[in-house]
Amino acid sequence: MTRKRINVGLIGLGTVGGGVARLLLEQQRRLSDYLGAELTLARAADRDPALAQGLDLPAGVLVADGAAVVADPQVDIVVELIGGLEPARAFVLAAIAGGKHVATANKALLAHHGREIFLAARQKGVGVAFEASVGGGIPLIRSLREGLAANDISHCLGILNGTCNFILSKMTAEGAAYADVLAQAQQEGYAEADPTFDVAGTDTAHKLAIIAALVTGRQPELNDISTEGITKIAPLDIQLAGEFGFKVKLLAVLRKVGQAVELRVHPTLVPLGHPMASVDGPFNALFVEGDWVGEVLLYGRGAGRRPTASAVVGDVLDLARDVLCGCPGRVPPLGSAAEPEGPLALAPLDQTVCKYYFRFAAQDKPGVLAAISAVLAEHRISIEAVIQKGREEAGPVPIVMLTHEANEAAVQRALARINALPFIAEDTMFIRVAG
């Protein structure tokens, strides 16, 4: 009996794209038997033909322009792996307009243009799959969209950037400075030559935008997500956090508070007993709290050629199944069949309520602690614990406080007052605490 053929067109043969091509070619027989149809890499495009060396692509498969992949009438599924916004957006929309299904790992594209892409797919009746866009090889998207669909998810905490987690883990284990660990991360291939996209929190914010869309059914405006990176974290903060019983992690936070939704990315103190505190090195994790399932932890390798290629090909198989069953778009991209009501409105950051870590750099003189405490009390900020270090060398000494829950706006007003006091040597370091 002749089996139906599903043709895949791949745009981009870089690190992940090359891995996808290799997986599709080397495991074609196994994947086809699993699917019950011939799964074939029919077209692969990259402007740099050198990237195809060693892939052993069949004759006629390699082309220079992604537009040729999109325009090929024999291609059923287009896999976009070039990254960035353009021409990736143009390729994806053109594929959808041509009735082709799309798999992508492009978190920036979905964070910026997800609404447009998902609407186009809905109107055309095709599927869009993006498991590899968040969490690499972790089945995170599928879990939120399908496995946990029965739940009202109230809270998510994500460690979603392996570069930042590697740096903070190394700083914690070795007591090394940020700049030194960053250089090591670059040497070992965990950080780019220009690491800004990662260490400033931008990559994590893109991924949080996608998670928020899956949880709420509405896409947030990326610029509305409060985003801070890890560049200001000092070894002293990591050491003192440990004395309080915490680790410092860069977290993506989603929290529903009444009818509002908080979305924020920032360094966070995580209690040592929390599952997220044990996520170290380049690994990623998402902690989810649902009203029926309770607490769920999704953990694994968040990047890399093989884990990410695994997720992409998993998406290709899902899309191919829908084609074979004649039910493309069976699962909407965001899970919900409800029409989105516009962008997701976010609660302002200044309404956030959580605990805080403060590190003041102050002159070692009588009355300093009392003066700081008085300003905090004026702003209804209650102190839970204090560590005051003695002088080890000339200069200011650290006074470190952990607060009870306080309002962000009040915290910002109090710190502005404290930073202006004559005995404060530098702006106060503050880190939010996971709740």
Residue carrying structure tokens 């991360």:
185
Beta bridge partners of 263: 254
Beta bridge partners of 227: 265
The amino acid present at 198, given as its one-letter code, is: D
Q: Please indicate if the annotation marks 17 as binding a ligand.
A: yes
Q: Please indicate if the annotation marks 281 as binding a ligand.
A: no
Cα–Cα dist 154/10, whole Å = 37
Task: Give the active site residue among 207, 232, 247, 256.
Answer: 207
Q: Which two tokens stand for residue 398?
A: 């650290």
- 5-11, strands of its sheet edge to edge: 62-63, 38-45, 5-11, 77-80, 101-104, 128-129
Q: Please indicate if the annotation marks 16 as binding a ligand.
A: yes
> Three-state SS for 426?
strand
Q: Which two tokens stand for residue 265?
A: 């990315």
Contacts of 276 (CB under 8 A, 6+ apart): 157, 159, 249, 251, 270, 285, 287, 297, 434
231-249 as b/e, with b when 16 or more CB fall inside 10 Å? eebebebbebbeebebbbb
How far are the Cα atoms of 169, 187, 191, 235 from residue 174, in angstroms, in the given order? 9, 17, 18, 9
> Three-state SS for 129?
strand
Q: Please indicate if the annotation marks 163 as binding a ligand.
A: no
Burial class (CB in 10 A: 0-12, 13-18, 19+), 32: middle
Contacts of 205 (CB under 8 A, 6+ apart): 111, 222, 225, 227, 252, 265
Q: Tell which residue, 301, 267, 263, has the closest CA to residue 155.
A: 263
Q: Please indicate if the annotation marks 367 as binding a ligand.
A: no
- Reply yes or no on whether 100 is catalytic: no
Q: Please indicate if the annotation marks 11 as binding a ligand.
A: yes
Whether the bond between 328 and the residue before it is cis, its omega within 30 degrees of 0, is: no
Q: Which two tokens stand for residue 21?
A: 């091509």
Q: What are phi and psi of 170, to 5 degrees?
A: -65, -40
Sequence-ordered strand ranges (E) for 182-242: 226-227
Q: Please indicate if the annotation marks 329 as binding a ligand.
A: no
Query: ∠ CA 195-200-201 to the nearest 5 degrees?
Result: 110
Q: Please indicate if the annotation marks 100 as binding a ligand.
A: no
Which residues define the annotated binding site?
11-18, 107, 192
Which residues define the annotated binding site for L-homoserine?
192
Which residues define the annotated binding site for NADPH?
107
Which residues define the annotated binding site for NADP(+)?
11-18
- Indicate which residues carry an active-site annotation: 207
